[in-house]
Amino acid sequence: MPRLRQRIVYCDCFDCADRPAESTLTPEQLDAATAVARQEPPPKALLIFVTGMLLAADGSTNLDVHTLPHCNLLVREGNLGLLATRGGGDHSAAGLTPAISELSQLLGVYPEVARQPPTAAEDQEAVEAEAGSSSLPSLASRYKGMQAALASTSAPARALARRLGMAVPQRLCLGRSAAAEVGAGAGAAGGHEATAAKRPAPLALPEAVPFAAAMAEELGAAEGSSGRDLLLLHVDLEDLVAAAAEGAGTEAGAAAGAGGDAGAAAEARWEAAGEALEWLDALVKALLGIREIRERTLLTLVVSPSGRPMPAAAAAGQQLASSATAAPPAALLLPGGAAAPPIDPAAAVLTPHNPAQLGRSAGAALAAAAASVSAAAAAASGANTAAGGLAILDATLDSDVAAGGLGSGAAAASAARDAASFPLVSRPLQSFEFLGLERLTGPGGCGVDLAAPLLVVRRLPGVVRRDRAERLSYRDALAAGGLGCVQLERLLPEVAYKVARAPKYGA
């Protein structure tokens, strides 16, 4: 008997809901996406990790101020989430800068690095000896022979990469060497160009298009090129500002450094971060313009505030607000356990996720009740307490019992009179509080920096599922991001799995 061909059934996920009436992809592009999904051959990975460029001001961040169309395009074509780091007291006690602490967590060697931090002198010695000592378990031994390279503005970061057996391509390393080259080029230029080059950009960043081409060449993104599986570009704002102050010696570079009053230094840092973000957006544009990167490379962007607290207002009105009278969130991340604020049972009236779990008819009644009670009226009537919320629920569902609602009104009223029958429950422990089965603990109970999570974007058609996020921002990550929040140390195993260098882990 001939077999029937399976019929395509579209679901309500974002990919199906957003499907075009007719495919706009060429047959070559469809073949490329299919080959990547089948890992024929496995894709490569390009990870851009920028630290210190996220700054807060007036209840928002500089991501909300600057126009970053290509970073936002990366978000729309991929998915967005948050990464949690260990508490800030750990790395400061170990003598690590925030950038090195986060990089070591990303590479999965934080305990070893905390015991023996890398130094700039170690990197210089390795450069002079034209070799590095692999004193830590290499990425190749941990991830099925994965060939990885790191380019960084930080000399200690390059020393750390050599400890892990990673290649360090000097032509991609920014910072002091790049600033010196820019200064030398300015002196050699002539005519009007020389006059303009006497005052170079404060951060002396290279042109995005040739730099992106060099990254693609180093990664070996094109067929027949050298076989790197991962290229990690690490850019730290502190290093860029220091290089500008030392190399160019301009007034802008000096103001961005340690000199000057606090107000001038903060303003200079804001301007430097804006310039770095605009360069990052241009780099993303140039990378997406390279076919091998656009179609066959897992592009991951991680943006870090380097431990600076971000405004918790970005979480207001999202999943952290449990009721109308709840206090505004103290941080972007809310941990679980007894130390966390308890869950308010009244949130069942005001949270749109819970009514669907009560049944179709009860859910419709609860939605109507929540829509009819304003925040002020709810506070005045006690609707945000356990008894008040259940009273609204009881009155709303009296007419719905016969249709299979939540239960009889008498039973709900009896339970509402006994507030002890409905104790507040603790928030469940969150996944970002764990590394495997080990929970990260600290002096306050939670060993995670709750106020300064990192933003992460991933994109690869055919491999990475899209979500509803539109912009690179905390608000979008909390409201529409599809990745949630996990520990920073879990990112590299996921990237290794995507490039067929690690077995699947987790559920």
Cα–Cα–Cα angle for 111, 114, 117, nearest 5°?
130
φ, ψ at 50 (rounded to 5°): -110, 135
| DSSP character string of 95-116 | T--HHHHHHHHHTT-HHHHHHS
Which 3 state secondary structure label does DSSP give 323?
Answer: coil
> Long-range contacts of range 491-497, CB-CB < 8 Å, 24 or more positions apart?
491/83, 491/106, 491/300, 491/302, 491/456, 492/106, 492/107, 492/108, 493/108, 493/143, 495/45, 495/47, 495/230, 495/298, 495/300, 496/143, 496/144, 496/146, 496/230
Which 3 state secondary structure label does DSSP give 156?
Answer: helix
C-alpha distance across the termini of the chain, in Å: 38
Arithmetic mean of pLDDT, 284-298: 93
- CA atoms within 13 Å, Cβ hemisphere of 305: 28
Express each pLDDT in 74-94 by its tens digit: 999 999 999 999 886 666 666
Q: How many CB atoms lie within 10 A of CB 57?
A: 12
Highest mean pLDDT range out of 23-32, 158-167, 255-264? Answer: 158-167
| Separation CA 64–CA 51 (nearest Å) | 17
Express each pLDDT in 436-449 by its tens digit: 888 888 766 778 99
Distances (CA, A) of 430 to 90, 281, 302: 20, 32, 21
Arithmetic mean of pLDDT, 207-235: 86
Q: Would you say the pTM of this structure is higher than 0.85?
A: no
Q: In this predicted structure, which of 37-41, 280-284, 399-403 has the lowest mean pLDDT?
A: 399-403
Q: In this predicted structure, which of 299-308, 338-347, 412-421 has the lowest mean pLDDT?
A: 412-421
pLDDT band at 98 (very low <50, low <70, confident <90, very high): very high
pLDDT band at 122 (very low <50, low <70, confident <90, very high): confident
- pLDDT of the residue at 67: 87
Cβ(303)–Cβ(93) below 8 Å: no
Among the listed residues 491, 436, 459, the one whose alpha carbon sits nearest the alpha carbon of residue 82: 491
Percent of the chain with pLDDT over 90: 35
- pLDDT of the residue at 492: 95
- pLDDT of the residue at 11: 60
Cβ(288)–Cβ(213) below 8 Å: no
Structure-block tokens of residue 227: 């076989």
Please tell me what DSSP assigns to residue 398.
G
Arithmetic mean of pLDDT, 352-360: 42
Is residue 194 predicted with pLDDT exceeding 50?
A: no
Is residue 420 predicted with pLDDT exceeding 70?
A: no
Amino acid at 40: E
> Long-range contacts of range 312-317, CB-CB < 8 Å, 24 or more positions apart?
312/451, 313/59, 313/60, 314/60, 314/61, 314/473, 314/474, 314/475, 314/478, 315/474, 315/478
Structure-block tokens of residue 394: 């009881």
- pLDDT of the residue at 3: 45
Highest mean pLDDT range out of 81-95, 97-111, 308-322? Answer: 97-111
Q: In this predicted structure, which of 115-119, 190-194, 356-360, 480-484 has the lowest mean pLDDT?
A: 190-194
| DSSP character string of 464-499 | SPP-S--SSSHHHHHHT-SS-EEEGGGHHHHHHHHT
- pLDDT of the residue at 9: 53
Is residue 325 predicted with pLDDT exceeding 50?
A: no
| Separation CA 173–CA 179 (nearest Å) | 11
Q: In this predicted structure, which of 191-200, 288-297, 309-318, 378-387 has the lowest mean pLDDT?
A: 191-200
Cβ(482)–Cβ(469) below 8 Å: yes
Cβ(329)–Cβ(315) below 8 Å: yes
Arithmetic mean of pLDDT, 426-444: 83
pLDDT band at 69 (very low <50, low <70, confident <90, very high): very high
Is residue 277 predicted with pLDDT exceeding 80?
A: yes
CA 447 from chain centre, in angstroms, equals: 19
| Separation CA 423–CA 415 (nearest Å) | 12
- pLDDT of the residue at 494: 93
- pLDDT of the residue at 197: 36
Q: In this predicted structure, which of 198-202, 280-284, 451-455 has the lowest mean pLDDT?
A: 198-202
Average pLDDT score over the chain: 74
Express each pLDDT in 41-60 by its tens digit: 788 999 999 999 999 988 88
Arithmetic mean of pLDDT, 203-214: 92
Beta bridge partners of 56: 61
| Separation CA 81–CA 431 (nearest Å) | 13
Arithmetic mean of pLDDT, 366-389: 49
pLDDT band at 339 (very low <50, low <70, confident <90, very high): low
Arithmetic mean of pLDDT, 369-389: 49
If one compares 231 and 409, the residue with the highest pLDDT of the two is 231
Arithmetic mean of pLDDT, 424-452: 82
pLDDT band at 330 (very low <50, low <70, confident <90, very high): confident
| Separation CA 343–CA 390 (nearest Å) | 15
Specify the DSSP element, H or E, that contains 25.
none
Please tell me what DSSP assigns to residue 153.
S
- pLDDT of the residue at 41: 75
Q: How many CB atoms lie within 10 A of CB 347?
A: 17
Q: In this predicted structure, which of 20-24, 51-55, 133-137 has the lowest mean pLDDT?
A: 20-24
Please tell me what DSSP assigns to residue 375.
H
Domains within the chain, CATH numbers bracketed: 14-314+432-498 (3.40.720.10), 343-421 (no CATH)
Specify the DSSP element, H or E, that contains 47.
strand 44-51
| Separation CA 228–CA 206 (nearest Å) | 23
| Separation CA 334–CA 306 (nearest Å) | 19
Cβ(262)–Cβ(187) below 8 Å: no
Arithmetic mean of pLDDT, 428-437: 87
Is residue 304 predicted with pLDDT exceeding 80?
A: yes
